[in-house]
Structure 1
Amino acid sequence: MPADMPAAAPERIVRDFLAAMEARDLERAETLLDETFTMVFPGSGVMHRLDELVAWAAGRYRFVRKRIAAVETCDGDAFTAVFCHGELDGEWPDGTPFAGVRFIDRFELRHGRIVRQQVWNDLALARP
């Protein structure tokens, strides 16, 4: 783990980011991102800005909430990886609810900022 990042910081940063995203507080979420931030979701290309994600997701679901089962942190020389997994609940674009959809998010943090997010989930399998 980088010397300037306290032990509890990576998990807290990821949880704060996910809470801000769920609340659609993009301004707060962006304060946790590095200027080189990238993210990839199932079926997306590489995205660099949170507004890209919101636009990309608009036709896929109305909203989604993450019920986090566990968060695990792995320290490396160049970055700290944080994995969180659990289940997604939300609504499809037509208002139909969904629940219990598995997900895993992998984050890379450097110097207290999120530089990368990779997302895997089973939304495509759950879609009506």
Structure 2
Amino acid sequence: MTAQSPRESHQDTLSAAEIVDEYLRMLMIPDPVTARRYTSSDLRIRFTGGRQMSDPAECAAFNAQRYAWVKKRIEKTETVDNGQSDEQIVYSLGTLYGAWPDGRLFEGNRYVDRYVLRDGLIVEMDVWNDSAEWLLTQNLEKTA
């Protein structure tokens, strides 16, 4: 019998949904180093607009450009039975709240994230939210 690392033994006790929730909690601090514990080395991230990333630190850097600060209010975390024992699909749904770069506060910005996990690690993350639509509306109001 081989000894497990603290990471492996901790993740073995977590469900796929709990792994996603903990990953998001770390990512929103932001603490991408700790968030990385829940991801595979071949992680593929796709943000709104088709932005490709491969590390939680890239998510944190993108959020730092788009928002003064941002957090997720998780409303539901759902695991989908896709019939594959080696793969779990998890959706996280809720809203974003925070401040735009100019300091204006916002809340109620809907998001949906889709995760694929293999062997207890996140291998894919897809992110959709209303931020682009909200920013477009704000820019149109400024020019009107």
TM superposition score normalised by structure 2? 0.79
| Cα RMSD, aligned residues only | 1.8
Matches within 5 A, 1:48-59: 48-59=54-65
AA aligned opposite 2:36: E
Question: 1:8 deviation in Å?
Answer: 5.5
Identical amino acids, percent of aligned pairs: 35
Q: Which has the larger radius of gyration?
A: 2
Matches within 5 A, 1:1-128: 9-76=15-82, 77=84, 78-127=86-135, 128=138
* Residue 50 to residue 24, structure 1, CA distance change in 2 (3 Å): same
3-state DSSP of counterpart to 1:65 = strand
Structure number having the greater helix percentage: 2
Larger relative contact order (CA 8 Å, sep ≥ 6): 1
Partners of 1:121 and 1:87 in 2: how far apart? 8
* Residue 67 to residue 84, structure 1, CA distance change in 2 (3 Å): same
TM superposition score normalised by structure 1? 0.88
Partners of 1:8 and 1:16 in 2: how far apart? 10
Q: Which runs of 5+ in 2 are unaligned?
A: 1-10, 139-144
Task: Render the CA deviation track for 1:80-128: whole Å, top value 9, x for unaligned.
Answer: 0000111110111111111101110000000000001001111112222
Question: 1:49 deviation in Å?
Answer: 1.4
Alignment coverage as a number of residue pairs: 124
Partners of 1:34 and 1:7 in 2: how far apart? 18
